[in-house]
Amino acid sequence: MRFVTIEHESVERVGVLDGETVRLLEAGVSLLGFLGGDGSRLGEAGERAIRDPDLVLPVADAHLRAPMPQPPSVRDYMTFERHFEGVARAAGPNATPPPFWYAAPSFYFTNPNSVHGPYDDVAVPPGCTAFDLELEVAVVLGAGGRDLTPAEAERRIAGFMLMNDWSARDLQVAEFALPLGPSKGKDSAISLGPWFVTPDELAPMRRGDSYDIALTARINGEVIGSDTVSSMSFSFGQMIAYASRGADLRAGEVFASGTCGGGCLAELWGRHGPDSRDPLVPGDVVSIEAEGLGQQTSRVVAGAPGIDFEAFGAGRG
């Protein structure tokens, strides 16, 4: 099934796509609320929406929000070797990922409060002069767990979503001087959706422990890169299992693949130089697409001017 969250008469409503219509459940329920347990609640909710909807709307009239507007957490990984190699070239033509990258699917936590819908405008972060997109695929955990095997983790995946992890590259590079991981460079916006797609919908694309899902990124209608989910060096099951080592996971947590090969400007800058393509600026239109998961289209707009760093005490001894 393909679940959606829409805004209808100023209220968020959950529904299921059925052809060219959205079949809505009763007001007051959320996709997150159907997760957990043995997974049956989500399926039952979808069947109820198809069989006995509270309201039916044309898709064209539906204001789509992020399927999960407020996930409990969002972990982002870097699982596409081609992407890592391209970004690493900024440090030199022969730069490669470090050995630990191949040993485990490492991640960082990004901001679950910065979630945008699939067609929302996205503002340039304050102080950013090198704004970028990141084409990714994310999965949502349907049940919690701890110290999971990859197979156990895989069985807990409730759904898939398209994701754009917007990035302030100049701020990100500056912050890398401190051994803390991403901070304000990865804090302003994540776009999710348009759909929350259950695993059975993607079964025809299944290839081993991955999926043959085509990915494409465009800026102002021009393709800047493409890849497939099957290029990931780690499976989603491995990613979740690694996160669960010595840690409790809960239903609704989001796990993102990291940028696919060719799915951002930073990779182009690494391969071809910083002047090979301009960063995103207000007025640019970014579209990302994943076969079976839908398409996002976001317009970049001007953001707040921000406060000078001196206001935070920069330069104090």
Parent domain of 38:
2-64
Q: Are residues 38 and 96 in the same domain?
A: no
The domain total for the chain is 2
Tens of pLDDT, residues 142-179: 999 999 999 999 999 999 999 999 999 999 988 888 88
Residue 312: the pLDDT is: 66
Q: Is the pLDDT of residue 314 over 60?
A: no
- Strands 2-8 and 63-64 turn out to be antiparallel
Using CA atoms, how far apart are residues 133 and 119, in angstroms rounded to an integer?
14
Say if 269 falls within a structural domain: yes
Confidence of residue 260 (pLDDT cuts 50, 70, 90): very high
Q: Are residues 102 and 54 in the same domain?
A: no
Say if 316 falls within a structural domain: no
Q: Are residues 251 and 217 in the same domain?
A: yes
Say if 314 falls within a structural domain: no
* Residue 158 φ/ψ, nearest 5 degrees: -95, -30
Provide the residue type at 201 as one letter: E
Say if 271 falls within a structural domain: yes
Q: Give percent above pLDDT 70 in the chain.
A: 97
Q: Are residues 197 and 49 in the same domain?
A: no
Distance of CA 207 to the CA centre of its chain: 21
Q: Are residues 93 and 117 in the same domain?
A: yes
Between 307 and 249, where is the model more confident? 249
Say if 190 falls within a structural domain: yes
Of the ranges 52-61, 177-186, 231-240, which one carries the lowest mean pLDDT score? 177-186
Say if 308 falls within a structural domain: no
Using CA atoms, how far apart are residues 53 and 21, in angstroms rounded to an integer?
11
Provide the residue type at 304 as one letter: A
The whole-model pTM stands at 0.95
| Token pair 């994701």: residue | 163
Q: Is the peptide bond before 97 cis (omega within 30 degrees of 0)?
A: no
Residue 313: the pLDDT is: 65
Q: Are residues 148 and 260 in the same domain?
A: yes
Report, as an integer, the average pLDDT of 279-302.
99
Say if 183 falls within a structural domain: yes
Residue 96: the pLDDT is: 82
Say if 294 falls within a structural domain: yes
Distance of CA 29 to the CA centre of its chain: 23
